[in-house]
Structure 1
Amino acid sequence: AGLGGERLAAEGVELLARPVDRAVMGLAGVLGSLGYYVDLLERCAAHFRAAPPDVLVPVDSPALHVPLARIARRYGVSSAHFVAPQYWGWAPWRARGYASAFDRALTILPFEKPWFERRGVRAVHVGHPLLDHLAREPVTRPAAGARAIVLLCGSRRSVIERNLPWMLARLSAVDLELAHPPIVIAHDDAAQHPLLAALVAEHGRGLDATIATAGLHAELARARTAFAVSGTVLLDLLHHRLPAVVLYRLGGRREEWIGKRFVTAPWFSVTNLLANEELLPEFGFSGAGPAGVVERALVRAHADPDWRAHCRAGLERAAERLGPPGAARRAARVVLGLAADAEGSPG
């Protein structure tokens, strides 16, 4: 039994609830759904009492799953959290309560396991699940004659609208200096392509900009540089050892204020966290931002051979630190070990 949506149900899981249908954002959304989630936890408690599973395996969502794991522990149910939350980046004080909730925390980045263990969390490093997907794609490096800049402006409509016009303006400012490079805007969701085309028509006049029709990895394999909004797509770039300039454009001054006071990680991009240095230029800001500084970073990333050589060597090291594929298999071994312990325990 479990909590989930259509894909989990298709695998034969008896769904106790479908919280994926109630995804919320913002404080108002959270407050409006409190009653639903309190009821959900009560239903799970009833299930643990009537038919306790050997192991609870919640995925992500610590706001829901930490209290759920505490309830499971009350009924003698072991738990393994996949994946451990990024408390190291924004809420280190929450690790103590997290340690008391879960029997195992499954980490996906190599520096996370020792960080959690220093705070009393029983952590197991299993690796990043995206590597199982990336293993099907050949590893490439930018070709000597490559000229294209791949632009990755986020997945959701609101993120695209916030970032793409600003990114096109930066590329327009350096277009002549970079000898009018081809700009390929890659997005896997074809439903967003009309929006991309409209924004390019309005904000990218004069640029040699096109919407990608090939898959993301085909475009990355023939690109020279990327200009990307921070996210899991940075692991795709790392797979191709592609130099990039990275943005995280905040929604407003309030987000910027919160970030400055609560974010504790030295960098926000996964590549720089793996490298333990600012290997890729990254810029987090709200409003107009450091336009000129970003433009100079784009020129350097695209045209400075010494910087590119240093960056590519660092990308090789970062990819090595990320480790091999097989995260799901290693996570399953941990879960099966907890299940075996549960079967062997008295009562």
Structure 2
Amino acid sequence: MLPRTAARLELARAIGGGLVAPLRFLAHLPARARVRREIAADVAAGAGIPGEIPDFEIRKDRPLRIFLSAAEASGEIHGASLAKALWKAAEDRSAPRPEIIAVGGERLRALGITTIGDPVARAETGFDGVLQSLPYYVGLLEDAARHARETRPDVVVPIDSPALHVPLARMVRRYGSPVVHVVAPQYWGWAPWRVGAYRKVVDRALTILPHEPAWFGRHDVATAHIGHPLLDALAGVPVTEPDPASRVLALLPGSRRGVIRRNLPWMITALGALRAEHPDAEIRILQSTPEHRELIEGILAETQGGDRARLVVGDLHGNLTEARAAFAVSGTILTDVLHHRLPTVVVYRVSKRLETWMYRNVLTCPYFASTNLLAGAEVLPEHCFRGHGPMETVSKEVAAAFGDEARRAAYGAGIAEAARRLGSAGAIERAAGHVLQVASRGRIA
């Protein structure tokens, strides 16, 4: 099939899938209770343990041809680390340096990797952004398929982002390239009916959360559990415990403009009980970069929150080390907070009625905060809501996480279990081993 035809077929498939999505959801309703019970049991067990680096051989008659794809910043960070691990593995075995071509952005180009398109720079959030970007992504799929057809990669390695990468995987497998998907999609949490199509387009899915191997295995998806790649980035950061003498609350409102705009004003208002019970508390709003300084300072002025909180840019882990507790928007930042064992209250404020309805009726996982998913229980308070939400409840929970020693001890026990289940660093090296093992088995007939 010609790349242009394949790309347009995927567009038609996506449009058709969107049109029938309500029907698929209705068809799923009779089984929803059973699915939720199964996933809750998987989460509670959390039995996945990262495996050893698999055995593999690297051909020495020519360089391996590897095609990476990253659609957003977090995936590109993992992709850059993976490229280095692949090159090192080849060097250690006196094999030619693999030739890597990628879909991605500046981080990959900085390594000397040629890229086809840059979806990282175009990453959009919101329905309108997706519609406006459709022509670009269809063209990107066509370019990627053309590359796969012309160069015949030994393996294609998409990272996360199933909306782009499941169609890409289906296309490149038509041209004989096996697919190793790094960071398997979280269909278990919101669209379990999609797993049937997924297992047909990947040769190996690499999971990062301990409950995922059981779920994907039950659906006959070939998987390997590598652990969480973020732990590799944290390998050089000491694990710490909260300083009992600290009076610092780390407030983490997210890293995207829309998320900050929705959540930070509400979070500042929710500090009322903390300020009343602990007037000496120092609230630090933490941001890794100055990108949103103007927005956050504007919100502080609007809410008159400047006397209750101050913005601190940079040295995220230094500030988390000095904190006593945290108040955070749900996201990958929770892994950083977990690294410092901080009692944390987790919130996520949405803006649309549809989002609230989907949270209550579509999600099939028992928790949305990653710490709770890891622990297999609600060890930290979590709240997803619209509008005013549970303001009084959250306000009391933040004060308790900061000053109630019995509550803090209970949080600490749950946090320790979550950290134990998360495992240790080495996910990227394990991923490289699986990529090279699949590549060594040859192309698909």
Counterpart of 1:220? 320
User: Which whole-Å CA distance do the structure 1 matches of 2:141 and 2:313 have between them?
Assistant: 44
Ranges in structure 1 where 5+ consecutive residues have no aligned partner: none
Counterpart position of 1:166: 266
For 1:329, the equivalent position in structure 2 comes to: 429
Partner of 2:213: 113
Supply the distance in 2 between the matched residues of 1:8 and 1:144 (Cα, whole angstroms): 42
* Contact 1:180 1:208 (8 Å CA) reproduced: no
Matched, 1:144 2:244: yes
Q: Which residue of 2 aligns with 1:56?
A: 156
Distance in 2 (CA, whole Å) between partners of 1:3 and 1:251 is 32
Query: How far did residue 102 of structure 1 move?
Result: 0.3
Match of 2:387 in 1: 287
Q: Is it true that 1:84 corresponds to 2:204 in the alignment?
A: no
- Partners of 1:121 and 1:190 in 2: CA distance: 42
Deviates more, 1:240-249 or 1:27-36: 27-36
Aligned residues: 345
- Spell out the pairing of 1:184-223 with structure 2 (5 A cutoff): 184-205=284-305, 207-213=307-313, 215-223=315-323
Counterpart position of 2:371 = 271
Q: CA deviation at 1:142?
A: 0.8
Report if aligned partners of 2:273, 2:399 keep a CA contact under 8 Å in 1. Answer: no
Asked if the contact 1:180/1:207 (under 8 Å) is kept, the reply is: no
SS in 2 for 1:127: coil
For the Cα contact (< 8 Å) 1:172–1:206, is it kept in 2? no
Q: Secondary structure at the match of 2:200?
A: helix
Distance in 2, Cα, partners of 1:95 & 1:204:
48
Aligned to 2:120, the other structure's residue is in SS state helix
Equivalent residues of 1:169, 1:204 under 8 A apart:
no
Kindly state the Cα deviation for residue 18 of structure 1 after the two structures are TM-superposed.
2.4
Structure 1 residues 241 and 204: alpha-carbon distance in aligned structure 2, compared to 1, 3 A threshold: farther
SS in 1 for 2:284: strand
Amino acid aligned to 1:247: V
- Ranked by relative contact order (alpha carbons within 8 Å, sequence separation 6 or more), the top structure is 2
Per-residue displacement from partner, 1:100-134 (whole Å, max 9, x unpaired)? 11001111111111111111111111111110111
Percent of aligned pairs sharing the same letter: 50
Q: Distance in 2 between matches of 1:211 and 1:252?
A: 28
Q: CA 1:51–1:320 in structure 2 vs 1: closer, same or farther (change >3 Å)?
A: same
Q: 1:300 to 1:30 in 2, by over 3 A?
A: same
Which structure 2 segments of 5+ residues have no match? 1-100
**Which SS does the other structure have where 1:57 is aligned?**
strand
Contact 1:106 1:126 in 2 (8 A): yes
Q: Which residue of 1 aligns with 2:139?
A: 39
In the alignment, is residue 230 of structure 1 matched against residue 363 of structure 2? no
| Structure-2 change in CA distance of 1:47 and 1:94 (3 Å) | same
Equivalent pair of 1:231/1:269 in contact (CA under 8 Å):
yes
Q: Which moved more, 1:163-172 or 1:29-38?
A: 29-38
Q: TM-score, normalised by structure 1?
A: 0.94
Per-residue deviation, residues 166-218 of structure 1 (Å, max 9, x unmatched)? 11111134311223411111111113223322322332447442222551111
Aligned equivalents of 2:124, 2:308: Cα separation in 1: 38
Residue type matched to 1:27 in 2?
F
Measure the CA separation in 1 of the matches of 2:313 and 2:121.
Answer: 31
Deviates more, 1:251-260 or 1:333-342: 251-260
SS at match of 1:223: coil
Q: Residue 11 of structure 1: CA displacement?
A: 2.0
Query: How far is 1:17 from its partner?
Result: 2.4
How large is the RMSD of aligned CA atoms in angstroms?
1.8
Of 243, 250, 253 in structure 1, the residue corresponding to residue 353 of structure 2 is 253
TM-score (norm 2): 0.74
Gap change, CA 1:205 and 1:83, over 3 Å in 2? closer
| Residue identity in the other structure for 1:281 | P
